[in-house]
Amino acid sequence: MFEVLKNGGWMMIPIIICSIVSMAIIGERLWFLQRKRIIPAELVAYIWQLHRDNQLDDGAIRRIKHSSLLGKILAAGLQNRKYGREMMKTSLEEVGRQVTHELERYLNALGSIASITPLLGLLGTVDGIIRVFSDIAASGLGDPVVLSRGISEALICTASGLTVAIPSLFFHRYFERLVDDRVVRMEEEALRLIDFMQGDREDT
């Protein structure tokens, strides 16, 4: 395997670096974007129970804030629940934008890797072809080793660039869809919180 990479020429260095960065981002995002880490089950029901039991104090809100990303959003709304529906909604939206930014972290880098690695492979291919013609000009067509070296470099770079780009593009699209789903679910939970908190205030 090392010999194959070595035969790919100098362009293999940035392609390998891109592959390492891509794998690191994919692993980190798979771990970070787990539903249970972002949207714990029954968090809104737990908050409602605390509210009904008159236990929704500053300490409880602080624990909710640090429990998950959804908790961070809901805590912002809870801190402003006394100021009415609109203020509560505004605070939820502001923190929601920050949380969305956290969910999208590194996705631009992953998309850039998916776009740039085929170009790096193409550049390596062009470099290998140039090497072939330079060697032909210098020594003629009599030595097949001279030709095979340049052709091998060209093919290895092309294959390596695509090998990195294809999974990077797949996971980039997958994570974008996953982030959209997480954001929608958090918005639904935030609206539930507003409805029962402000509805309860209106009832009282």
Instruction: Confirm if 81 and 88 have CB atoms less than 8 A apart.
Output: yes
Residue 204 has pLDDT above 50, yes or no: no
Residue 41 resides in a domain: no
Query: 201: which residues sit within 8 A by CB, 6+ positions away?
Result: 81
Higher local confidence (pLDDT), 203 or 51 = 51
Burial class (CB in 10 A: 0-12, 13-18, 19+), 75: buried
- Kindly report, residue by residue over 152-201, the tens digit of the pLDDT: 777 888 888 999 999 999 999 999 999 999 999 999 988 888 887 766 55
The pLDDT of residue 174: 96
Its pTM surpasses 0.85: no
Q: How confident is the model at residue 106 (pLDDT cuts 50, 70, 90)?
A: very high
CB atoms within 10 A of CB 20: 10
- Kindly report, residue by residue over 40-90, the tens digit of the pLDDT: 888 888 888 888 888 888 898 899 999 899 999 999 888 888 877 888 888
CB atoms within 10 A of CB 190: 22
Average pLDDT over residues 27-51: 90
Residue 49 resides in a domain: no
Report the domain count for the chain: 1
CB atoms within 10 A of CB 54: 7
Residue 9 resides in a domain: yes
Residue 118 resides in a domain: yes
Residue 71 resides in a domain: yes
Residue 144 resides in a domain: yes
Range of the domain at 199: 2-33+56-203
Kindly state the tokens that stand for 192. 């539930």
Residue 1 has pLDDT above 80, yes or no: no
Higher local confidence (pLDDT), 203 or 149 = 149
The pLDDT of residue 99: 93
Instruction: Confirm if 193 and 77 have CB atoms less than 8 A apart.
Output: yes
Mean predicted lDDT score pLDDT of the chain: 85
Residue 43 resides in a domain: no
Residue 40 resides in a domain: no
